[in-house]
Amino acid sequence: MMRRTWCTLAALALTLFLTVGHVWADAEPGLFLDRINQMARDVHATQRMMASEGKGGEGTAAALAKEAASANELKRWLAGVDSTDEAEQAFDVLRKYVYRVSNGPEKKAAQIGLAQFEQRVKFLAQTENPAFAAYLDKIEALNTELESKQIRFDAGPATRVRQLADQGPTARRSAREEGLLGAHVVGGNTTFAVYSPAATEVNVVLFKKPTDTTGTGYPMKKDASGVWRCTVPGNLTGTWYAFSANGPVTDGHLFDPKRLLSDPYAFANYDHNGKSLIVNRDFTWTDQGFKPPKPEDLIIYEVHVKDFSAHPSSGVTGATRGTYQGFLQSKGLQHIVDLGVNAVELLPIHEFDNNFAGHPNHWGYMTSHFFAPECSYASGKNGEAVKEFKQLVNGLHKSGIAVIMDVVFNHTAEGNEKGLPLNFKGLDNPGYYRLTDDKKFYWNGTGCGNEFRSDNPMTRKLILDSLKYWVREYHVDGFRFDLATILDKQTMTAIANELPAQTILIAEPWAADWARNQWGKTDFRNTKWAKWNDDFREKVRGLMKGQFDRNELMTVLAGTCFWWTAKPTESVNYIECHDGATVSDLFGGNVQSLKLGAVALLTAQGIPMLHAGQEFNKNKKGNDNSYDQDNDINWIDWSLRQKNQDLYEFYRGLIALRKAYPNFRHTTALNNQHIEWLLPANQRALGYRLKGQTDFLVLLNSDSHEWISFGLPDGLPWKIVCNGHKVDVNGGLGTATGDYKVPPRTAVILKNR
């Protein structure tokens, strides 16, 4: 940008500086980042409006006014900076933002922010403390870095990702266009790029086979950002490769030039600890037109890829059992379509350590590569997983099912100080992990050996690059984040801001060590983030036991909005998941208890989630931590559906009811215009009326002995939709008026028209 433009921005910043607002100490740096992101969005809106109607249009004038207001708000936040500590926090936000600037609106937002910050520290240096002048050189250096970025000014935040995702099979991207590290074939040659800022030497070594012990090495050259690069002549698709890195062994670094390291950005890898593969990623998609459900319409089915078709009852034979291909061939696919769920949440399919620390790791929560699909679920380990997982997503989309990936960015398979370097440790151990003060050990709020350092700019970039890659390359519709409170708030905010608007985002809002939480359940209200609701799980299980607090149950049934959500769609409701005991085990397979829980789950406000097999009384033989069981404890025995057809049909009917009526799918917090509570004298019972064009009464009796009477409103006959045993969406199970008695351990649903 020319000097005149920069002076204009500085003048704008000086004018805005006259507006004084909050005190910085009352705000968090993350909110300052929110203001910068908003500035970028408003700049993008202005550019689009000017492109469509010119500089003199009314829409352009309105957009410019909004952009000026956004800049004013940004300055208001900076006006609260009064101490050098606060200045350091603000500068750190700007530094990290500049590092990740990828488009024109973001660049302009960063320029305005820097100009405003410069004016603030100049003022403080002259009037309060000369020490503030130290930031002027830092700002100049950061502005120089920003000016050096070669960026187009016609794309807004996340626009490129959305466009590429929409283009489907015809989108072809070069390494430069993707902005990804790793191995790419460009112009007939193959480029390699890996991040290792403290390394003194890095080589890429090529192999013909993954089992080869010797290969051909090529030296790489480091750029100013700490990325090592080299280009090898020829299209090397099908070639295996690894890196060797040398450097210091102090301050937490673990360089060992004798150890081969796989590529953190590998698109395919040979198991979790083998070599990386330059893989052909071409695929012809036929899922055009598929759109994921809106949050309020989601009904999620949590399932493990292998468990879905590993059991002989799946109808899948031979080596295809338990694979991506087996998932599509299994009778289970038609089952979930008939059941009526519209999204599957797949337990981890990133490449993972299958036998961590000497124990089977069946569930997959030990990720080693965030861009490569797990190869044990494929027909081979030579990159077949890339095509076969795409086939799975494509097939699910054609069946009307969205795909949500369970992702594990809180820790990795490299484990604690006893774990050998596989990739991250050997390239930038103190950058990718949170180390303790002596830097020999790892913070372990995950309980899995380490914490991934999401607050480091390059680690955050990797997380965002990975998520965008799976959306673009694999057409994935959403993500569930394991132990998400280990990720810092700025990363969580960036994920929500930068992924396509329709991307489903779900967080597990806790850590193994609560003292290591970076945020809590009450954060991210009124955002795209939904969270697993363990409060719902415990209160509804209490209902199923006949032991619950009625006020607490009312809160979770209404979307938990009085506790930590702002709207029901921020709550993912469940009574069973992969973790812990199944409800079948907890309640001894008692069908009436299971039906009581099913009614609460599928009539409550929020996003319901079922665990695979829950709908036909699958148990785990009492095992409440089956992470290491690659057998019929976890495998789905599809013959159970026939044996428990009554429970399956009950779930199927409740799902059809939920999908048919908006009463069960509110997008805002409920008030007395939406819901009315019925409170019998017996504290073990609760009823609620969901109002709409058709009103519904849900009557819950958890008492194991007493029939409980509910006085039905309006004095008119109500149609029985659910009598506790069966569900008929049309209300063909009879009528009810006056005082209606609900049997013990039973849930009833009525409708008035």
Which residues are designated catalytic? 482, 508
DSSP output for 273-322: TS-EE----------TT--PPPGGG--EEEE-HHHHHHSGGGS--GGGTT
Nearest-angstrom CA–CA distance, 488 and 456: 10
Longest dimension (CA), the chain: 85
Would residue 739 be called left, alpha or beta, if left means φ above 0 and alpha means ψ between -120 and 50 degrees?
beta
CA torsion sign for 452, 454, 455, 461 is positive
Residues 639, 313: contact at Cβ < 8 Å? yes
For tokens 């970076």, what's the residue?
Answer: 518
DSSP output for 469-526: HHHHHH---EEEETTGGGS-HHHHHHHHHHS-TT-EEEE----SSGGG-SS-TTTTTT
Residues 209, 245: contact at Cβ < 8 Å? no
Nearest-angstrom CA–CA distance, 83 and 93: 16
Cα distances (angstroms) measured from residue 261 to each of 364, 424, 739: 21, 8, 72
Name the nearest CA neighbour of 748 among 710, 715, 716.
710
Question: For residue 405, what is the enclosing H or E element?
Answer: strand 402-407
683 residue type, one letter: Q
Per 3-state DSSP, what percentage of the chain is helix, strand, and coil (rounded to 5)? 40, 15, 40
Residues 59, 179: contact at Cβ < 8 Å? no
- Show Cβ contacts of residue 582 under 8 Å, excluding neighbours closer than 6 positions: 576, 611, 613, 614, 618, 619, 620
DSSP output for 613-667: TGGGT---TT-S--TT--STTTS--THHHHHTHHHHHHHHHHHHHHHH-GGG--S
Q: How many CB atoms lie within 10 A of CB 474?
A: 22
Residue 171: beta bridge partners?
none
Assign 156 to helix, strand or coil. Answer: coil
Q: Which two tokens stand for residue 41?
A: 């969005």
- Show Cβ contacts of residue 449 under 8 Å, excluding neighbours closer than 6 positions: 411, 414, 415, 416, 419, 442
Would residue 525 be called left, alpha or beta, if left means φ above 0 and alpha means ψ between -120 and 50 degrees?
beta
Q: Which two tokens stand for residue 687?
A: 């009823």
DSSP state of 102: -
Q: Which two tokens stand for residue 195?
A: 């991040």
Question: For residue 705, what is the enclosing H or E element?
Answer: none
Assign 454 to helix, strand or coil. Answer: coil
CA torsion sign for 489, 160, 156, 668 is negative
Residues 343, 298: contact at Cβ < 8 Å? yes
